[in-house]
């Protein structure tokens, strides 16, 4: 161990448990354990459990102790550390090389869209390094992680991956295999970007994407990170440092090549995925004016102004497609019959959604289609008069994120 030239913190292949698929988490756990113990205990533990002695032991203990002192805490499975040292940011995440590459690509793509400039990204099994000509605030990375769920993250990953060198290389390999590119063709003679654009949506493109996502990137793990961050199951500890901490310096000094990820065409391409999901939502619509019309409709099929086709009223209640009670309640109300307390509550709730539809039309249904968004939240989103598509979709995404974050604490 003492003869190793490179950093022992990232070179433990001699240790038997290197073959374990959970190595990335075990390594982070080692750092955490060393950081928590006093120096003598840490040294004894390293020698007894992993046979790390001498200079290698000195380096592990000194580096981990100093990093913990600088960062305040070390990354764990449930808490990532986001280090901001002005020139760049390092997200300490113990996910392994493949997952960190995928996570870095998604974050960099969304950051590029938001800050309006390219973002460089590089990774190793325990860190992701972000650089840009424009100042990136750590809060922007946290916002990106919280604003998108697992499904959206996977969709964004596919959009971002096709702009990477990783995908270009795989595309060339698959295209040669399928006879689209001559096997003896030199790389510099191949117009890769034009070929990718021309063949998008074809079997060669789809196969290249499948192989990259399944073999090169742990896409499902990355999706779970977005899901867990949005639900508060993974915390992000932000810390500003004067320079890279010892653990961050490992990637800053080792990595010289950066995957530069540009904008995903424009933000419309990302927000369109959210909008597509919202537009595909089905609701039962019930006229509250006379109760003489109800229909299950998909949001995308509606006009901007939603009216009853029978009486032309805009007081249209929005309900789950499976609701069978509300039409009876409306009919009872229209006929002048007394409603029970339970029926009255349901009628009033339906009236809130009808008021939103009356005032905001299809936009109200778009907001109500958001996960966990009821009439009160929809009213807050719509009240400022949001008309611009991007702004409205951003607010819906934020409200969905807040719902996902707080839902576990609601109980039954």
Question: Could you read off the pLDDT of 126-184 as tens digits, one per residue?
Answer: 899 998 888 889 999 998 898 888 888 888 888 888 878 888 888 888 988 988 887 77
pLDDT band at 255 (very low <50, low <70, confident <90, very high): low
Indicate the pLDDT class of residue 111, thresholds 50, 70 and 90: confident
Is the pLDDT assigned to residue 298 strictly greater than 70? yes
pLDDT of 10 above 70 = no
Share above pLDDT 90 across residues of the chain, in percent, rounded to a whole number = 32
Say if residue 263's pLDDT is above 50: no
Indicate if the pLDDT at residue 378 is higher than 80.
yes
Question: What is residue 268's predicted lDDT score, i.e. its pLDDT?
Answer: 58
Q: Please tell me the distance from the alpha carbon of residue 20 to that of residue 273, in angstroms, as a whole number.
A: 37
**In DSSP terms, which residues pair with 48 in a beta bridge?**
none
What gap in Å lies between CA 164 and CA 193, rounded to an integer?
A: 10
Angle of helix 389-406 relative to helix 219-230, nearest 10 degrees? 80
Statement: residue 387 has pLDDT above 60 = yes
Give the model confidence (pLDDT) of 216-251 as tens digits.
Answer: 778 888 888 988 898 888 999 999 998 889 888 888
Report the pLDDT averaged over residues 197-216. Answer: 86
More confident residue, 405 or 115: 115
| CA 192 and chain centroid, separation | 29
| pLDDT of res. 20 | 41
- HEC states along the chain? CCCCCCCHHHCCCCCHHHHCCCHHHHHHHHHHHHHHCCHHHHHHHHHHHHCCCHHHHHHHHHHHHHHHHHHCCCCECCEEEEEECCCCEEEECCCCHHHHHHHHHHHHHHHHHHHCCCEEEEEECCEEEEEECCCCCHHHHHHHHHHCCHHHHHHHHHHHHCCCHHHHHHHHHHHHHCCCCCCCCCHHHCCHHHHHHHHCCCHHHHHHHHHHHHHHCCHHHHHHHHHHHHCCCCEEEEEECCCCCHHHHHHHHHCCCCEEECCCCCHHHHHHHHHHHHHCCEEEEEECCCCCCEEEEEHHHCCCCCCCCCCCCCCEEEECCCCCCHHHHHHHHHCCCCCCHHHHHHHHHHHHHHHHHHHHCHHHHHHHCCCCCCHHHHHHHHCCCCCCHHHHHHHHHHHHHHHHHHHHHCCC
Rounded Cα distance between 42 and 390, Å, is: 52
- Residue 230: per-residue pLDDT: 83
Lowest mean pLDDT segment, chosen from 1-10, 41-50, 54-63, 67-76: 1-10
Query: Does the pLDDT value for residue 365 go beyond 90?
Result: yes
CA distance linking residue 182 with residue 267, whole number of Å: 36
Which pLDDT score is estimated for 274?
Answer: 77
Average pLDDT, whole number, for the chain?
A: 82
Alpha carbon distance 63, 54 (integer Å)? 14
Give CA 243 to chain center in angstroms: 28
Long-range pairs, 351-356, Cβ under 8 A, ≥24: 351/288, 351/315, 351/317, 352/376, 352/379, 353/317, 353/318, 353/319, 353/378, 354/288, 354/315, 354/316, 354/317, 354/318, 355/315, 356/318, 356/382
pLDDT at 405: 64
What the block records as the tokens of 72 is: 């305040």
Q: Which residues contact 57 (CB under 8 A, 6 or more apart)?
A: 43, 46, 47
What is the predicted pLDDT for the residue at 181? Answer: 80
Residues 6+ apart with CB under 8 A from 245: 66, 67, 70, 71, 83, 85
Asked whether the predicted pLDDT for residue 124 surpasses 60, the reply is: yes
Q: Does the pLDDT at position 267 exceed 60?
A: no
Among residues 94, 91, 84, the alpha carbon closest in space to that of 106 is found at 91
42 vs 89, higher pLDDT: 89
Q: What is the per-residue pLDDT for 291?
A: 86
Q: Are 53 and 105 in contact (CB under 8 A)?
A: no
| Sequence-ordered list of residues with C-beta below 8 angstroms from that of 120, at least 6 positions apart, any chain | 108, 129, 130, 131, 132, 258, 259, 260, 261
List all residues 6 or more positions away from 202 whose beta carbon is below 8 Å from its beta carbon: none
pLDDT of residue 22: 58
**Residue 98 scores a pLDDT above 90:** no
Lowest-confidence region among 287-291, 322-326, 381-385: 381-385
Report the percentage of the chain scoring pLDDT > 70: 86
> Rounded mean pLDDT of 300-324?
92
What whole-number distance in Å separates Cα of residue 291 and Cα of residue 298? 20
Q: Where along the chain do its domains lie? A: 8-71, 80-246+253-265, 276-409
Reported as a pLDDT band with limits 50, 70 and 90, residue 116 is: confident
Residue pLDDT, tens place only, 337-353: 999 999 999 999 999 99
Q: Is the pLDDT of residue 253 over 50?
A: yes
Is the separation of the CB atoms in 254 and 129 below 8 Å?
no
Residue 314: pLDDT above 70? Answer: yes
The rounded distance, in Å, linking the Cα atoms of 324 and 375 is: 20
């Amino acid at each position: 161990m003492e003869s190793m030239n490179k950093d022992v913190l990232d070179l433990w292949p001699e240790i038997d448990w290197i073959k374990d698929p959970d190595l990335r988490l075990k390594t982070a756990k080692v750092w955490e354990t060393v950081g928590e113990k006093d120096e003598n205990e840490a040294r004894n533990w390293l020698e007894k459990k992993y046979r790390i002695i001498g200079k290698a032991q000195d380096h592990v203990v000194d580096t981990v102790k100093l990093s913990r002192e600088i960062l305040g805490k070390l990354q764990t499975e449930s808490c990532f550390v986001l280090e901001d040292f002005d020139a760049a940011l390092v997200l300490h995440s113990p996910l392994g090389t493949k997952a960190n590459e995928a996570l870095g690509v998604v974050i960099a793509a969304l950051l590029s869209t938001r800050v309006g400039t390219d973002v460089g990204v590089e990774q190793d099994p325990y860190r992701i390094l972000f650089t840009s000509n424009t100042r990136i605030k750590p809060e922007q990375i946290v916002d990106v992680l919280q604003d998108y769920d697992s499904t959206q993250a996977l969709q964004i990953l596919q959009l971002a991956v096709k702009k990477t060198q990783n995908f270009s290389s795989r595309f060339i390999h698959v295209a040669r295999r399928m006879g689209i590119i001559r096997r003896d063709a030199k790389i510099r003679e191949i117009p890769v970007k034009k070929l990718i654009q021309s063949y998008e949506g074809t079997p060669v493109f789809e196969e290249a994407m499948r192989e990259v996502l399944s073999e090169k990137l742990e896409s499902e793990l990355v999706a779970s990170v977005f899901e867990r961050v949005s639900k508060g199951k993974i915390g992000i500890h932000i810390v500003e440092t004067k320079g890279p901490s010892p653990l961050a310096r490992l990637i800053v000094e080792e990595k010289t090549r950066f995957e530069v990820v540009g904008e995903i065409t424009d933000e419309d391409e990302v927000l369109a995925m959210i909008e597509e999901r919202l537009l595909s939502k089905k609701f039962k619509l019930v006229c509250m004016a006379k109760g003489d019309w109800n229909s299950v409709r998909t949001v995308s099929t509606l006009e901007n102004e939603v009216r009853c086709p029978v009486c032309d009223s805009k007081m249209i209640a929005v309900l789950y497609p499976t609701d069978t009670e509300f039409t009876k309640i409306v009919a009872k109300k229209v006929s002048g019959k007394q409603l029970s307390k339970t029926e009255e509550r349901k009628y009033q709730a339906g009236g809130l959604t009808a008021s939103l539809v009356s005032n905001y039309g299809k936009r109200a249904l778009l907001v109500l289609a958001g996960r966990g968004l009821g009439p009160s939240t929809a009213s807050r989103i719509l009240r400022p008069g949001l008309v611009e598509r991007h702004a409205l979709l951003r607010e819906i995404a934020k409200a969905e994120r807040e719902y996902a974050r707080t839902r576990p604490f609601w109980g039954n």
